[in-house]
Structure 1
Amino acid sequence: MKINKSAARVMDILMILSKQNEPLSVSQLSRELGAPKSSTFEILCTMVDRGFLEFDENVKTYKPGIKLFEVGASYLNNTDLTKEARPYLERLVKRTGETAFLATESNGDIVYLDKVEAPSSIRTTATLGTRNPMYVTGLGKALLAAYSDEKVSELMENREFIQVTSNSITDFSSLMKNIKEIRQRGYSIVNRENEEDVYCIAAPIWDYTNQPIAAMSIAGLVTRMSEDKAQEYAVYLTEAAMSLSKRLGFKQNQLFLH
């Protein structure tokens, strides 16, 4: 397969800016790319001209432009899953008063597709389009538990496990043990594994081919999440996940098939 170097650099620039979450200068971007400043500048000028980047004349930095948002919004608007899941997320927020998320897996990470917040709910660091490791998130572990053991091994066995908090899983063996518990329980739980104050419950979403394609979750402050409340919310969540899965054509009657 032949790769166009200029096209690849355009995509690399967008990824760098999305991860840095702040405007960068041409010097910073050329250094991150490992590319000459002159050629980087030409690409940046083209991206600004087409609206994919914005240039701040005062501080000489670049940031994502409105055209990039339009492309992203178009993707979300044309994704049936996002449209179909939105009412379920809103209903969960109304019933629990906590934040509800929708996410999918990409290269062993969770990517957030949608998020609904209640006025009094916790504000987490997760935003649409951002990634998090699967092994420290409720959404990620719910999907892993829905996958076959072979797929879990393919995605996670050789991955570096970084300890995000003192409660984070730090090795593949512990993850597999946790996955077994999730399958038996019927939903995943993350208790301060990715953020110090956050408790999360999640369940997978399946499609008409009986494949797990996403997960939804409820996240709230640990101090507000008693055992009884967590169990109550888990009922709401698993009902929503199953109902959405059925709407997408899922033919089974349980959320974990392995």
Structure 2
Amino acid sequence: MWNSRRSVSDTNGSVTKALDALDLLGRAGQAVRLKDLALQLDWPESTTHRLLASLASRGYVQQQEPGGAYQLGWKVVILARSLSAEAHLARGMRPYLQKLVRQVDRTVNLAVLNDLQVMYLDCLTPNQRLTLYVAPGANLPASCTALGKALLAYLPQCQLEHVLSRLHLEIFTPQTITSLAEFRRALRYVRQRGYAVDRREFKPDVACIAAPIIDASGHAVAAISVTTPVTELPARWEERTAPVIVSVAQEAARDLYGGHDE
């Protein structure tokens, strides 16, 4: 047990050291020599060299030349661009989420696909009701959420097959889809209707409808959703809510991405 705790502690210490090194390189604004990095981080040069070599192997730092100074690598640039793109998407979509929350008086969300999960970029709640609030940056399974199904349904076929080959249909509630064949049918149904539904598939007390934001190439760049407690489901909830969310999603797609109606 003691060895296990020490292993976790050592790992946490290594992660902290790596983050400290990246932070220093980012603030430096120029390449930094190994000797200077070790001095500023107060580490032995040998330790600093091993850490930088590990970061370089993953693309997070790079040397200007063999034996030369270190600077941030291409992987950091990719991460920064990704974050910038998502922030831009959230800003552009905010007026449409505000419009949707006024129309449905329910919690609304914006999310993108993040491998086998959906990552939330924004969440608006009516009248400050925070019971169903999901913080931006949170990740939930794509397989059992309306947002996930709305996004997966519009992947290119080869990409979808790759995702499905790795998808683990974990059980969260008795309503969770656990058969891959049934899940494929659910995605086809999303394409036919233009929206996805989750009735207590992820949480037993929550229902959700989601619609994709389709770009000009016919792929989903994001999805928006309306979430409600099942105890507050009004009569004909899906029939009344689906056309509203689909309309807002299509409006956003046309305005922001030159998209089209499915």
The answer to whether the 8 A contact 1:206-1:213 is kept is yes
Give the Å deviation of 1:42.
4.2
Identify the residue that residue 35 of structure 1 maps to in structure 2.
11
Using the aligned pairs only, state the percent identity.
26
Quickly say closer, same or farther: Cα 1:90–1:251, change in 2 above 3 A. closer
The answer as to 2:113 corresponding to 1:105 is yes
Identify the residue that residue 221 of structure 2 maps to in structure 1.
213
The answer as to 2:195 corresponding to 1:187 is yes
Give SS of 2:143's match. Answer: helix
Give the Å deviation of 1:47.
8.0
Taking the aligned partners of 1:76 and 1:116, their CA distance within structure 2 comes to: 21
The answer to whether the 8 A contact 1:77-1:83 is kept is no
Quickly say closer, same or farther: Cα 1:241–1:42, change in 2 above 3 A. closer
Give SS of 2:225's match. Answer: strand
Taking the aligned partners of 1:36 and 1:249, their CA distance within structure 2 comes to: 42
The answer to whether the 8 A contact 1:161-1:171 is kept is yes
Q: Which amino acid aligns with 2:126?
A: A
Deviates more, 1:113-122 or 1:130-139: 113-122
Give the alignment of 1:71-150 within 5 angstroms.
Answer: 75=83, 79-119=87-127, 121=129, 123-124=131-132, 126-150=134-158
Give the Å deviation of 1:33.
7.9
The answer to whether the 8 A contact 1:191-1:198 is kept is yes
Give the alignment of 1:240-255 within 5 angstroms.
Answer: 240-254=248-262
The answer to whether the 8 A contact 2:196-2:209 is kept is yes
Deviations 1:233-254, CA, capped at 9 Å, x for gaps? 1111000000000012334321
Identify the residue that residue 175 of structure 1 maps to in structure 2.
183
Deviations 1:36-65, CA, capped at 9 Å, x for gaps? 85x456457668989xxxxxxxxxxxxxxx
Identify the residue that residue 23 of structure 1 maps to in structure 2.
none
TM-score relative to the length of structure 2: 0.68
TM-score relative to the length of structure 1: 0.69
Give the Å deviation of 1:142.
0.6
Deviates more, 1:129-138 or 1:207-216: 207-216
The answer to whether the 8 A contact 2:216-2:260 is kept is no
Identify the residue that residue 233 of structure 2 maps to in structure 1.
225
Identify the residue that residue 208 of structure 2 maps to in structure 1.
200
**Structure 1: runs of 5+ lacking an equivalent:** 1-26, 51-70
Give SS of 2:223's match. Answer: strand
**Structure 2: runs of 5+ lacking an equivalent:** 26-78
Identify the residue that residue 153 of structure 1 maps to in structure 2.
161
How many residues align? The count is 207
Taking the aligned partners of 1:155 and 1:89, their CA distance within structure 2 comes to: 28
Taking the aligned partners of 2:142 and 2:116, their CA distance within structure 1 comes to: 7
Q: Which amino acid aligns with 1:170?
A: T
Q: Which is helix-richer, 1 or 2?
A: 2
Give the Å deviation of 1:181.
1.8
Q: Alignment RMSD, CA only?
A: 3.2
Quickly say closer, same or farther: Cα 1:120–1:233, change in 2 above 3 A. farther
Identify the residue that residue 238 of structure 1 maps to in structure 2.
246
Give the Å deviation of 1:144.
1.3
Give the Å deviation of 1:185.
2.2
Give SS of 2:108's match. Answer: strand
Give the Å deviation of 1:201.
0.3
Taking the aligned partners of 1:105 and 1:149, their CA distance within structure 2 comes to: 15
Q: Which amino acid aligns with 1:35?
A: T
Taking the aligned partners of 1:210 and 1:33, their CA distance within structure 2 comes to: 47
Taking the aligned partners of 2:9 and 2:163, their CA distance within structure 1 comes to: 27
